[in-house]
Amino acid sequence: MNSFTYTNATAVDAAVREKSTNTKAAFVAGGTNLLDLMKENVERPTRLIGLNKLADLATIEDNPEGGLRLGALATNADTAWHPEVEKRYPLLSQTILAGASPQLRNMATNGGNLMQRTRCYYFYDLATPCNKREPGSGCSALNGFNRIHAILGASEHCIATYPSDMAVALAALEATVRVSGPHGERTIPFADFHRLPGDQPERDNTLETGELITALDLPAKGFEKNFTYLKLRDRTSYAFAVVSVAVGLELEGNVIKEARIALGGVAHKPWRVIAVEETLRGVTATEDNFREAATALLRDAQGYGSNNFKIELAKRAIVRALKQATEMNQPLDANAFLNSNP
């Protein structure tokens, strides 16, 4: 870990100002990703701006659009177990609770979760080349051990996945990211927040220098009747997703009025294909239709060796998740995350 100084931010604008004038400064919220990477010498900020004293950003309240506003500094645990989230967005509760561990969820914040970096083994290990860590040095995963790597939207420069669970549900729910920057506030639709690696894998998202995430806005529609988060991993808990699927369905009888399907663990961002979701509109909720949608979603998927199996696994997971969401006919109780462990 390198040498740095620390300060607690007391106001958003001051924090933004300091960060935008110092390229070696970093915000720290829960610290669960940043400090991990600093101990690995992957991240080396010389100035840390602590956000935890920004109490205004830690609240959860109704937003003007009829939805809910999740403060960027609210912890993952407080968010998942917030009564309004449990009631109106149980998909989000379930998804958050499928991630990390109880201790980490008590530290991790909503903003930090969106900003967490890939778990690619090579990215973490300074002994191996990695374009994301050291642009231009090469991608070791491409021909290496790439079990946890992308099958969709990757580039020859980087095949990393973005590891967050929470973001998969946020993608399905079409949240909006509110940010405050040197030029004022702006909102970013969730689909535009994370980016594909292309030839700039060092950039995970579209946040501009100095910008601070202040909140996540959830629209009114929460798919609280038919939803599921299915997370497949190498052990039952406390492991990142190999493949995950967040599904929200609006059903009329057995007919799908609206479907949202987002995939985690397969790309540099939560993966959605709106066109495929459209094809499910007005269709009966049958396994055949689900399978067709799954096949379409994975049409362009490509494996890189150790992760070839993910293509078939993702298809099956989508079918299962859609089935699970369809068949669900009671409100979710607070511990239903246990259902997501097949």
Partner 1 sequence: MSDLTTTPRLVEAGTSNTSYIGKPTSRVEGPAKVTGTAKYSAEFNVPGLLYGYVVTSPITKGRITKINSAPVLALEGVVQIFSHENVPSLAWFDRNYKDDVAPGGSPFRPLHDAEIKFNMQPVALVVADSFEVARYAASVLEIEYEQEKFDTNIDLKRDEGHKPGSGKTGFMPPPPPRGNPNDALKNATHRIEGEYIHGAQHHNPMEMFATTVEYHQDGKITAYDKTQGVYNVQQYITKIFGLSKDEARVVNHYMGGGFGSGLRPQYQVFLAVLAALELKQSVRVSLTRQQMFSFGHRPHTLQYLKMGTNPDGTLAALHHHALHETSKFEEYTENVVNWSGMLYQCENVNLGYQVAELDVYTPLDMRAPGAATGSFALEVAMDEMAYAAGLDPLDFRIRNYAEQDQNMKKPFSSKKLRECYHEGAAKFGWDKRTPEPRSMREGNQLIGWGMAGGVWDASMQKAAAKAIFTADGKLEVLSAAGENGTGTYTIMTQIAAETLGLPLEAVTFKLGDTNMPEAPLQGGSWTAASVGSAVKNVCTEVGEKLLKLAQKMKGSPLKGASIDDVHFADGQIRLNTNPSEAVVIRDILPASGEEKLEVESSAMPNMIKQQPYSMHSHNAVFVEVKVDEDLGTVHVTRVVNAVAAGRILNTKTARSQVLGSVVWGISMALMEETVMDHTFGRYMNHNYAEYHVPVNADIHDIDVVFVEEEDDKVNPLGVKGIGEVGMLGVAAAITNAVYHATGKRVRELPIYMDKLL
Partner 2 sequence: MIQQPTNTSGGATSLPAPPSAGSVTLTINGVQRHMQLAPWTTLLDALREYADLTGTKKGCDHGQCGSCTVLVNGKRINSCLTLAVMQEGNEITTIEGLGQPENLSPLQQAFIDHDAFQCGYCTPGQICSAQGLINEGRAHTEDEIRELMSGNICRCGAYVGILAAVKEVVDKQSSK
Ligand X SMILES: Cc1cc2nc3c(=O)[nH]c(=O)nc-3n(C[C@H](O)[C@H](O)[C@H](O)COP(=O)(O)OP(=O)(O)OC[C@H]3O[C@@H](n4cnc5c(N)ncnc54)[C@H](O)[C@@H]3O)c2cc1C
Which residue ranges make up the site for ligand SF4 (CB under 6 A)? Answer: 118, 120, 122-123, 130-132, 139-141, 149, 158-160, 201
Which residue number, 126 or 220, has a Cβ lying nearer to partner 2?
126
Give me the residue label for tokens 């998969």: 168
Which residue number, 20 or 306, has a Cβ lying nearer to partner 1?
306
Which residue number, 138 or 181, has a Cβ lying nearer to partner 1?
138
Q: Which does 317 bind (CB under 5 to 8 A by kind): ligand X, partner 1, ligand SF4, none?
A: partner 1
| 291 near partner 1 (CB under 8 A) | no
Which residue number, 101 or 143, has a Cβ lying nearer to partner 2?
101
Among 313, 322, 332, 336, which residue interacts with partner 1 (rule: CB under 8 A)?
Answer: 313
| 181 near partner 2 (CB under 8 A) | no
Which residue number, 189 or 305, has a Cβ lying nearer to ligand SF4?
305
Three-state SS string over the chain comes to CCCCEEEECCCHHHHHHHHHHCCCEEEECCCCCHHHHHHCCCCCCCEEEECCCCHHHHCEEECCCCCEEEECCCEHHHHHCCHHHHHHCHHHHHHHHCCCCHHHHHHCEHHHHHHCCCCCHHHHCCCCCECCCCCCCCECCCCCCCCCCCCCCCECCECCCCCCCHHHHHHHHCCEEEEEECCEEEEEEHHHHECCCCCCCCCCECCCCCCEEEEEEECCCCCCCEEEEEEECCCCCCCCCCEEEEEEEEEECCEEEEEEEEEECCCCCCECCHHHHHHCCCCECCHHHHHHHHHHHCCCCCCCCCCCHHHHHHHHHHHHHHHHHHHCCCCCCCCHHHHHCC
Among 31, 106, 121, 182, which residue interacts with partner 1 (rule: CB under 8 A)?
Answer: 121
Q: Which does 27 bind (CB under 5 to 8 A by kind): ligand X, partner 2, ligand SF4, none?
A: ligand X
Site string for ligand X, 196-225 (x = CB under 6 A): ----------------xx------------
Which residue number, 21 or 103, has a Cβ lying nearer to partner 2?
103
Q: For residues 28-67, which are near partner 2 according to CB under 8 A?
A: 28, 30-32, 35-36, 39-41, 44, 46, 48, 50, 52
Binding site for partner 2 (CB under 8 A): 1-6, 28, 30-32, 35-36, 39-41, 44, 46, 48, 50, 52, 77, 81, 100-104, 106-107, 126-127, 236-238, 334-335, 337-338, 341
